[in-house]
């Protein structure tokens, strides 16, 4: 069962877990603590919001992330590690004009050719 809790309630639960010496494991990848039973098996998980930090996390400061921007006919992607960009790529494509079956650039070339032949 999934229950959504307020940030205040989550902070209270985390404080209680840490201060009452409950057995728990923290999954850095999933960003969630798992409460453990007497045999050290997880029986309850708390998925934390990304902006909340679990108290005993030894964060190394190493971060990796991807930024992806998409717009009609264009896209940009960047790969970052520790606030430094390691790779980036920009994609662009000509959009096909609605109901005409030609790209905008081909339409402009055709119009230029018509004007050039009409002026001669």
pLDDT 10s digits, 52-81? 777 655 445 567 788 899 988 889 999 988
pLDDT 10s digits, 21-57? 778 888 888 888 888 888 888 888 888 777 677 765 5
pTM above 0.75, yes or no: no
Distances (CA, A) of 64 to 1, 14, 69, 114: 31, 26, 17, 53
Length of the chain: 120
Residues 8, 27, single domain; the answer is yes
Residues 71, 21, single domain; the answer is no
Which helix H or strand E contains 118, and what residues bound it? Answer: helix 104-119
Residues 43, 88, single domain; the answer is no
Q: What whole-number distance in Å separates Cα of residue 22 and Cα of residue 55?
A: 14
Instruction: Specify the higher pLDDT residue, 116 or 67.
Output: 67
Tell the residue number behind the tokens 């930090």, with chain if given. 53
pLDDT tier for residue 89 given thresholds of 50, 70 and 90: very high
Residues 50, 71, single domain; the answer is no
- Containing structural domain, residue 51: 1-59
């Amino acid at each position: 069962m999934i229950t959504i809790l307020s940030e205040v309630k989550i902070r209270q639960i985390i404080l209680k877990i840490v201060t009452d010496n409950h057995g728990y494991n923290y999954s850095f990848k999933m960003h969630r603590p798992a409460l453990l039973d007497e045999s050290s098996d997880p029986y309850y998980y708390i998925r934390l919001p990304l902006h909340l930090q679990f108290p005993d996390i030894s964060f190394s400061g190493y971060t990796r992330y991807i930024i992806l921007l998409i717009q009609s006919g264009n896209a940009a992607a960047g790969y970052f590690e520790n606030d430094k960009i390691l790779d980036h790529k920009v994609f662009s494509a000509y959009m096909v004009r609605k109901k005409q079956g030609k790209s905008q650039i081909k339409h402009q070339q055709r119009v230029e050719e018509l004007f050039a032949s009409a002026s001669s």
